[in-house]
């Protein structure tokens, strides 16, 4: 089978079109009862509804039918990278999200401070969710750890979360998590699954040995667990595969990290949707493609708060006029996955998707919601194909074949 | 591309959910005239209609668009095994269907008694459809045949049908059928398509030579033809790939054989749908996954009897309350292919499918039929992905990626 990017490298055409990919994280939802409406269908979204009338709608399948993706595969799919082909470790995502520039000799690790008792058993996997100020100070202490032949970087992320990077030639990225996912037991020993990763596991073990010493008086954060121990896979950039100058406007680190992974420039998004819109306006002339990320449709879904997700969906809607006034050639509104409040989790349900462009086959929709998307012009499609539609509707793809 | 089962092995999560896969064989149909209704749409199915209101509907494509599958690929697809990857010979299916435990050195063959005239030409490809009692006695005679270096097993199936198994190391499973598919000509000579299969072809030829001698006075069953000469492919079990304890409740041998092929336990299904429901009730606590097979929607379709298929569809519907009362977490109603009475044959039309679960995205359907399924939430999907949706709706899949 031809790879999507083999095709886009060959067919890409440059023009001065402007594209916005507006991602409502976890946008898809569920009705609470048979016959009911989803969060998106319940929300009052006059701007999205007006946009639907000049759009094609459809349903995006993030990975494969039924498969609930994490944020990594969810976004890679939307960016046109087959999420089953590109497997991005959690450590890599976290490192990218704090602007750490990972190189080919780097192994990145997501760390969680935890609490251990006198016997070495974990009593709290998140160290009482310590404040960020404390987490930051402890990271400074850990950053003094020395391991012969290995450069060690320790960076704080937020509260009990940190990133550790080991830099040395020959370190593998296939080491199991040390977080046992439960309390009352000690952390697992680092275990490498190939020769190079056994070497990494030894480095992890030495780091953890020294960390136990460094943190011994810092309860509740008197140790850490390691998760998502991974190297960055080789991944081609947006510029290479699509010929676009792309920028990300995302408030949360993880999503900036994902955008950086595919070579997008990371803009200063500020803290609010209003900040993000200002950023979009200010940078409108400098890029062809803008990825705008809105987190709260996911977090309210994860909380199981249907009404809050409805409200956040209305907030998502409120930014639409500030985008349409810029007259993008293509404006897509979609999600990286569904996060139904009913399930309090990412789910494998397909994701409502809207693509507005002057050359859409308008499908007569008058509202943006799951029921309308189910019968929309774009049909049900794997997320990895969305970028082909985006580029096509932006006039950025040549004809295939004579 | 990642194989479905690579994914499910990694993501499978055990819980105490219960799943029923209720297969109406050949369920999909055709309207007799433009504007008409299909068999399923014509049938009075109050139970399925009520279920539809709390389900997601969709259309299953058994193999690829337009491809009409046999029972083997049709069921393998529903079980989540790519029917283009797993090619199961007819002989293997027949052997599994009579509880013959095939090993790795076995070649299985479906035999049909036939009638030959004095010149050795076939005059009846089914030996006048002899009674089962006669077929059984003749199989006992054939079972006395000895071939040096090869264990020979001959088992009667039903009427003119039998199974022959040759057991020896080094026998190949790629031998052409000897049934010429017409009368007035002699059976074809067994022909192997690789070195190991040439050896098998020699064994077949010797068996047929001796059979002609043994059966010479048994007209109309004075010879046999051989079809579907094949070995069992290595195929992982349901337990391995999905982590479920699965059981089959099927009246017909072929479908028990298919279920055994993927490692399901075969329960005593009795002879009627009522027997099958009793079996389901009695075994409810012992398994996670139940495959319940209903044959008559196919056989009436094959007969070209629209009204009889409608009636059998109503019978299919009548068992639904005995399933729903058990409160399965996921109940799927689908078919392995379409068998439109109008065509008197399996067809490549997509198959109406219903998935009922509390975490469905209910799609507002009020009836179960082709028209409703065409616009359902599950969309049009390849049958091999159905199990992903089933497991996801049973909470039996972890999130993919971070």
Is some CB atom of chain A closer than 8 A to the CB atom of B325? no
**Which residues in chain B touch residue A32, judged by CB atoms under 8 angstroms apart?**
none
Q: How far is CA B264 from CA A41, B22, B226, B240, B325, in A?
A: 42, 15, 28, 11, 24
**What pLDDT was estimated at residue A1?**
52
Closest by Cβ to A70, choosing from B4, B391, B402? B402
Is some CB atom of chain B closer than 8 A to the CB atom of A77? no
Residues forming a β-bridge with B343: none
Asked if residue A400 belongs to a domain, the reply is no
Other CB atoms within 10 Å distance of the CB of residue B101: 9
Q: Do residues A76 and A120 both lie within one domain? A: no
Give the β-pairing of B289-294 and B19-24.
parallel
Q: Do residues A203 and A342 both lie within one domain? A: no
Residues forming a β-bridge with B59: B352, B380
Other CB atoms within 10 Å distance of the CB of residue B311: 17
Q: Do residues B368 and B241 both lie within one domain? A: yes
A102, two tokens:
């990972």
**What pLDDT was estimated at residue B234?**
87
B306 CA: distance to closest CA in chain A (Å): 30
Cβ contact A73–B401 (<8 Å): yes
Q: Do residues B243 and B380 both lie within one domain? A: yes
Cβ contact A34–B362 (<8 Å): yes
Other CB atoms within 10 Å distance of the CB of residue B117: 14
Residue B344, sorted as left (phi over 0), alpha (psi -120 to 50) or beta, turns out to be: left
CA-nearest residue to B360 within chain A is A30
Domain ranges, residue A338: 4-87+235-393
Asked if residue B402 belongs to a domain, the reply is no
Asked if residue B6 belongs to a domain, the reply is no
Summarize pLDDT for A160-211 with one digit per residue, the tens: 999 999 999 999 999 999 999 999 999 999 999 999 999 999 999 999 999 9
- The CATH number given to whatever domain includes residue A378 is 3.40.720.10
What does pLDDT average to over chain B? 96
CA-nearest residue to A62 within chain B is B400
CA-nearest residue to A230 within chain B is B402
- 3-class secondary structure, B141: helix
CA-wise closest residue to B56 among A62, A25, A348, A377? A348
| Gap between the Cα atoms of B166 and B93, Å rounded | 15
pLDDT band, residue A329 (cuts 50/70/90)? very high
Q: What angle do CA A209, A214, A218 make, to 5 degrees?
A: 120
**What pLDDT was estimated at residue A234?**
86
CA-nearest residue to A92 within chain B is B402
Average pLDDT over residues A294-305: 97
Is some CB atom of chain A closer than 8 A to the CB atom of B77? no
pLDDT band, residue A87 (cuts 50/70/90)? confident
CA-nearest residue to B53 within chain A is A34
Q: Do residues B372 and B260 both lie within one domain? A: yes
- The segments of chain B whose pLDDT lies below 50 read none
pLDDT band, residue A98 (cuts 50/70/90)? confident
| Gap between the Cα atoms of B356 and B375, Å rounded | 16
- Chain-centroid distance of CA A14 in Å reads 27
Asked if residue A398 belongs to a domain, the reply is no
Residues forming a β-bridge with B192: B175
Cβ contact B401–A35 (<8 Å): no
**What pLDDT was estimated at residue B157?**
94
Is some CB atom of chain B closer than 8 A to the CB atom of A371? yes
Q: Do residues B164 and B81 both lie within one domain? A: no
Closest by Cβ to A70, choosing from B54, B361, B400? B400
Asked if residue B311 belongs to a domain, the reply is yes
Average pLDDT over residues A300-315: 98
Is some CB atom of chain B closer than 8 A to the CB atom of A68? yes
Cβ contact A379–B378 (<8 Å): no
Is some CB atom of chain A closer than 8 A to the CB atom of B392? yes
Is some CB atom of chain A closer than 8 A to the CB atom of B2? yes
Tokens 């095939």, residue? B102
Is some CB atom of chain A closer than 8 A to the CB atom of B381? yes
Q: Do residues A253 and A271 both lie within one domain? A: yes
Is some CB atom of chain A closer than 8 A to the CB atom of B148? no
Single out the residue in A183, A214, A230 at which a domain terminates: A230
Cβ contact A67–B388 (<8 Å): yes
A265, two tokens:
């420039």
Is some CB atom of chain B closer than 8 A to the CB atom of A83? yes
Is some CB atom of chain A closer than 8 A to the CB atom of B377? yes
**What pLDDT was estimated at residue A2?**
67
Summarize pLDDT for A44-83 with one digit per residue, the tens: 999 999 999 999 999 999 999 999 999 999 999 999 999 9
A127, two tokens:
């160290």
**Which residues in chain B touch residue A71, judged by CB atoms under 8 angstroms apart?**
402
Is some CB atom of chain A closer than 8 A to the CB atom of B240? no
Q: Do residues B64 and B119 both lie within one domain? A: no
Q: How far is CA B204 from CA B98, B146, B208, in A?
A: 21, 12, 6
Q: Do residues A258 and A195 both lie within one domain? A: no
What does pLDDT average to over chain A? 96
Single out the residue in B171, B196, B230 at which a domain terminates: B230
**Which residues in chain B touch residue A68, judged by CB atoms under 8 angstroms apart?**
392, 397, 399-400
| Gap between the Cα atoms of A60 and A380, Å rounded | 6
| Gap between the Cα atoms of B104 and B102, Å rounded | 7
Asked if residue B398 belongs to a domain, the reply is no
Cβ contact A348–B401 (<8 Å): no
- 3-class secondary structure, B2: coil
Q: Do residues A256 and A382 both lie within one domain? A: yes
Asked if residue B5 belongs to a domain, the reply is no
Question: A299, exposed or middle or buried, with CB in 10 Å at 0-12, 13-18, 19+?
Answer: middle
Closest by Cβ to A65, choosing from B2, B389, B399? B389
**Which residues in chain A touch residue B77, judged by CB atoms under 8 angstroms apart?**
none
CA-nearest residue to A348 within chain B is B392
**Which residues in chain A touch residue B402, judged by CB atoms under 8 angstroms apart?**
70-72, 88-90, 93, 228
Cβ contact B392–A87 (<8 Å): no
Q: Do residues A97 and A82 both lie within one domain? A: no
Q: Do residues A134 and A58 both lie within one domain? A: no
**What pLDDT was estimated at residue A40?**
98
Cβ contact A84–B7 (<8 Å): yes
**What total number of domains does chain B contain?**
2
Asked if residue B399 belongs to a domain, the reply is no
Is some CB atom of chain A closer than 8 A to the CB atom of B170? no
Report the complex ipTM.
Answer: 0.89
Find the DSSP H helices in B186-343.
195-214, 238-242, 253-261, 273-283, 296-302, 306-318, 320-324
Single out the residue in B212, B230, B248 at which a domain terminates: B230
Q: Which of A62, A67, A163 would you mutate first to test chain B, the one with the most B CBs within 10 A?
A: A67
Other CB atoms within 10 Å distance of the CB of residue A217: 6
CA-wise closest residue to B48 among B297, B342, B214? B297
Cβ contact B388–A64 (<8 Å): yes
**What pLDDT was estimated at residue A402?**
86
- Dihedral sign, Cα of residue B115, residue B119, residue B120, residue B121: negative
Question: A25, exposed or middle or buried, with CB in 10 Å at 0-12, 13-18, 19+?
Answer: buried
């Amino acid at each position: 089978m031809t790879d999507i990017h083999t095709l886009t490298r060959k067919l890409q055409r440059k023009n001065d079109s402007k594209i916005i990919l507006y991602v409502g994280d976890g946008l898809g939802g569920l009705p609470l009862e048979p016959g009911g409406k989803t969060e998106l269908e319940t929300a009052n979204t006059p701007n999205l509804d007006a946009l639907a009338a000049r759009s094609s709608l459809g349903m995006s399948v993030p990975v494969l039918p039924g498969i609930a993706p994490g944020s990594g595969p969810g976004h890679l799919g939307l960016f046109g990278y087959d999420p089953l082909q590109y497997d991005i470790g959690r450590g890599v995502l976290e490192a990218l999200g704090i602007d750490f520039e990972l190189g080919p000799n780097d192994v990145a690790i997501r760390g969680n401070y935890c609490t251990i008792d006198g016997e070495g058993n974990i009593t709290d996997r998140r160290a009482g969710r310590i404040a960020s100020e404390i987490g930051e100070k402890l990271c400074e202490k850990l950053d003094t750890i020395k391991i012969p032949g290995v450069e060690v970087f320790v960076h704080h992320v937020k509260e009990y979360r940190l990133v550790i990077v080991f830099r040395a030639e020959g370190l593998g990225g296939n080491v199991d998590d040390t977080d046992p996912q439960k309390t009352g037991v000690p952390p697992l020993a680092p275990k490498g699954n190939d020769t190079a990763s056994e070497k990494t596991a030894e480095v992890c073990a030495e780091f953890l040995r020294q960390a136990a010493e460094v943190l011994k008086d810092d309860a509740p954060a008197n140790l850490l667990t390691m998760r998502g121990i991974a190297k960055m896979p080789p991944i081609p950039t947006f510029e290479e595969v699509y010929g676009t100058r792309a920028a990300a406007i995302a408030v949360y680190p993880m999503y900036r990290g994902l955008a950086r992974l595919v070579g997008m420039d990371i803009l200063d998004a500020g803290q609010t949707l209003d900040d993000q819109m200002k950023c979009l306006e200010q940078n409108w002339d400098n890029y062809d493609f803008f990825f705008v990320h809105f987190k709260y449709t996911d977090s309210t879904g994860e909380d199981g708060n249907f009404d809050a997700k409805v409200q956040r969906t209305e907030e998502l809607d409120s930014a639409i006029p500030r985008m349409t006034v810029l007259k993008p050639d293509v404006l897509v509104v979609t999600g990286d996955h569904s996060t139904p409040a009913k399930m309090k989790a990412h789910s494998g349900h397909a994701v409502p998707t809207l693509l507005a462009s002057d050359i859409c086959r308008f499908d007569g929709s008058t509202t943006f919601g799951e029921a309308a998307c189910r019968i929309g012009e774009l049909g049900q499609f794997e997320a990895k194909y969305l970028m082909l539609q985006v580029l096509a509707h932006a006039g950025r793809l040549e004809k295939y074949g004579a």
